[in-house]
Each structure stands twice: as structure tokens, then as C-alpha cells.
Chain A
């Protein structure tokens, strides 16, 4: 299996889960030109990021080309406990996707 493009670190403190994740993705806007050929570099950016916790979606982000390369995302939600699994997945505009699961500390 190829290495996942998502790295997650999540901690639960007093019922509140703090999730941090780092996604490696080029996040091309589609507006940049290749310096050598002068042609536009095709757009390739993440459109949706979803975080699931025990079957329920706890975070859903709609992104576009304005987000930087290798984006870092941090958010918090309540109702989780230590040891729970969370799943984060993304879909980009070319239809590619990736997801990964992690245990919360």
C-alpha cells in the first residue's frame, strides 16, 4: 500500500477532541503557468475533507484552489473519548481521493 497522504494527530481532553492533520497535496489552482512551456498547469485541488467519528460526520470542509500546498487543518469536536478511532478523507477535483484512520490519544 502506498503511503497515506494524510497524517493525523488527535488528542482528547475533558471530552473535547482536538484533531490536527497534515495532508500532502499539490493544491494547484489551475491558474498558474508552467514557466518553460507557457501552458496552464491543470487544476488539482482538494474539494472536500470529511472527518468521521463512530459513523457520524463531525467535520466537513468545502475547499477550493485558494488553500495552500500541503494543507494543515486543525479542528475540535466534543463527545469523543480517548482510544476512539477517527477517519479523515479527502476528494479532489480530479476525482482522486484518500483516507486514513487514526486512534485518538
Chain B
């Protein structure tokens, strides 16, 4: 009898993994196990490939793209721009001393001094403003090229986002978590509706990708955009599709979402930049 009771309580715990008191680490474990159980045939690290991990036909097309991907132009341009010095003689390399070893796996991180989430794009623009240069536009264009170059150097590194034990860090994490699970827009849908509960199902002609692993491939070359875009550009698109007013790229809301979203993919390899439909 006692055994059954324990088993029941364990099951109850498993059924409510996202209770308010759950720590980020608990959330991550539950999140990961949900997807690995939902898609037992997908190899553990293949979630980084989004829908291409689930659909063989789409994967074939995608692999043909990846043989000679359109984002190569962006990586080349990014490398060139990254190497260019600013007017004061310094360069990006001074801001990102370890860039050759790969740095993207640590972004976004929580900066305890400023109490803010720092994304890679935020760090790129901070580097520019610190050196007296103008900010780049947030969602597309040059910032994605530099991001693509840095991401290409960080390939195969494991995502390693940390939530320090700091009230503000936890608050930012929880804000992102709330955004992920909360319903929004005229269609009354949350991020989780599509990319958690219905991941792997069809939405009209397209498959819904699992939220687990999504941040790995950014910035992406998206065929629909015929160009590169950041994760926040995609968030804006997602919000619009459920007929909600999108937040601005690099707003605190999206930074918090990126923080939560990327944390949920901890341990997966980076695969950016990549190509998406």
C-alpha cells in the first residue's frame, strides 16, 4: 500500500512539473524528458534540427540545402565585418577575446552586475556603442551576419546557459517561462500550445517543431524571409501568427523568453547558423 502511495505521489509530481516552486533545473529535466518520451525515435542530439528530425521527406530537402547553404554568404560577410576595426582602432575581437573557441553556447547569460539578461546580439551592439559606433538594427541585416559568423565558430559546443541564484535572474527566467506558457493573441494560443503539446503535429501543411532544441540553429537563413534573421525576429513572427502584438526585438520580454527557451535546450549542441523553411 505504501509503495502504491509513493508511486502515486511520484506520478503526481511528474504530472505537475511546472509548479511555481520548481527550480530551473527541475523544469529542464521535465522539459527534456517530455520531448524524449514524446519522440522516442529521435536521437538525443537530433532535436537541434527541429522538424527535420521528425520528417524524413523534409529532412531530405533540408540536407540538400545544407550541402550548399545560403547562409554561407552571411558567414563570409560576417567574418569580414568582424575583422574590420572600429574608428577608435579597436575591433570586435577585443570585446569577444574567446570568439575563436566558440562563445555562443554561453549566451544569453545573466549579468548580475547590471541585473539584465545579455544576449549575443545585445553584446555585439554593446561592443559597438562602447567603442563609439552606432548600434546595428536588431533583427536582421549586419547583426545576423556577425551572429552567423560567431555561431559558425561555436558549432558543436553544448548549450550552457546558467541561471544564477539571484532574485533578478530567477525573475527574468520566470518571466520568460510565463511568456512561453501563457496564452496570448486573438487566437488564444501560447508558445507551448504549438511547440510543446502539439509539436510534431501538422499545422496546415507544416509540422510544428519541438521547443526543445529550437534556439540551437539561430541565427537562421529562412527561405520565407529570403534572408537571415535572429531568434527575436522569429519570436515576433510567432506572436503575429497567433494575432498578438509582437514585442520589439531585444525587448526585455523577448530577452527573458530567449533566456528561458535557451536554458530549456541546455546540453544540446549548437548548430547555427542553419537553414529553415
A9 in contact with B68 given A68-B226, A69-B226 (CB within 8 Å): yes
Give the distance to chain B from A80, nearest Cβ to Cβ, in Å: 18
Size bin of chain A's contact surface: 10 to 19
User: Which residue of B is nearest A3, CB measured?
Assistant: B76
Which residues of chain A are near B70, meaning CB under 8 Å? Answer: 22, 70, 72
A22 in contact with B226 given A9-B68, A72-B68 (CB within 8 Å): no
Which residues of chain B are near A70, meaning CB under 8 Å? Answer: 70, 73, 226
Q: Which of B68-107 contact A (CB under 8 A)?
A: 68, 70, 72-73, 76, 80
Best-buried of B67, B73, B76, B227 by chain A (most CB within 10 Å): B73
B68 contacts A20, CB within 8 Å?
yes
Q: Which of A1-42 contact B (CB under 8 A)?
A: 3, 7, 9, 20, 22, 24
Please measure, in the bound complex, the distance between the C-alpha atom of A103 and the C-alpha atom of B76, giving whole angstroms: 20
Please measure, in the bound complex, the distance between the C-alpha atom of A68 and the C-alpha atom of B226, giving whole angstroms: 8
A-B interface contact total, Cβ < 8 Å: 23
User: Which residue of B is nearest A9, CB measured?
Assistant: B68
Interface residue total, chain B, C-beta cutoff 8 A: 9
Which residues of chain B are near A9, meaning CB under 8 Å? Answer: 67-68
Please measure, in the bound complex, the distance between the C-alpha atom of A92 and the C-alpha atom of B72, giving whole angstroms: 22
Q: Which secondary structure dominates chain A's binding surface?
A: strand
Please measure, in the bound complex, the distance between the C-alpha atom of A70 and the C-alpha atom of B70, giving whole angstroms: 8
B72 contacts A7, CB within 8 Å?
yes
A20 contacts B73, CB within 8 Å?
no
A20 contacts B72, CB within 8 Å?
no
Please measure, in the bound complex, the distance between the C-alpha atom of A84 and the C-alpha atom of B227, giving whole angstroms: 33
Q: Select which of A20, A24, A68, A69 is within 8 A of B67 by beta carbon.
A: A20
Please measure, in the bound complex, the distance between the C-alpha atom of A22 and the C-alpha atom of B67, giving whole angstroms: 11
Give the distance to chain A from B223, nearest Cβ to Cβ, in Å: 9
Please measure, in the bound complex, the distance between the C-alpha atom of A69 and the C-alpha atom of B73, giving whole angstroms: 12
Q: Which of A56-79 contact B (CB under 8 A)?
A: 68-70, 72, 74
Give the distance to chain B from A76, nearest Cβ to Cβ, in Å: 14
Give the distance to chain B from A6, nearest Cβ to Cβ, in Å: 11
Which residues of chain B are near A24, meaning CB under 8 Å? Answer: 73
Please measure, in the bound complex, the distance between the C-alpha atom of A67 and the C-alpha atom of B23, giving whole angstroms: 51
User: Which residue of A is nearest B227, CB measured?
Assistant: A69
Which residues of chain B are near A69, meaning CB under 8 Å? Answer: 226-227
A22 in contact with B76 given A68-B226, A69-B226, A72-B68 (CB within 8 Å): no
Please measure, in the bound complex, the distance between the C-alpha atom of A77 and the C-alpha atom of B67, giving whole angstroms: 19
User: Which residue of A is nearest B67, CB measured?
Assistant: A20
Give the distance to chain A from B205, nearest Cβ to Cβ, in Å: 21
User: Which residue of B is nearest A8, CB measured?
Assistant: B68
Q: List 9 A-B pairs, minimum CB-CB distance, nearest first.
A: A20-B68, A24-B73, A9-B68, A69-B226, A68-B226, A70-B73, A22-B68, A70-B70, A72-B70
23 contacts between A and B (CB under 8 A): A3-B76, A3-B80, A7-B68, A7-B72, A7-B73, A9-B67, A9-B68, A20-B67, A20-B68, A22-B68, A22-B70, A22-B72, A22-B73, A24-B73, A68-B226, A69-B226, A69-B227, A70-B70, A70-B73, A70-B226, A72-B68, A72-B70, A74-B68
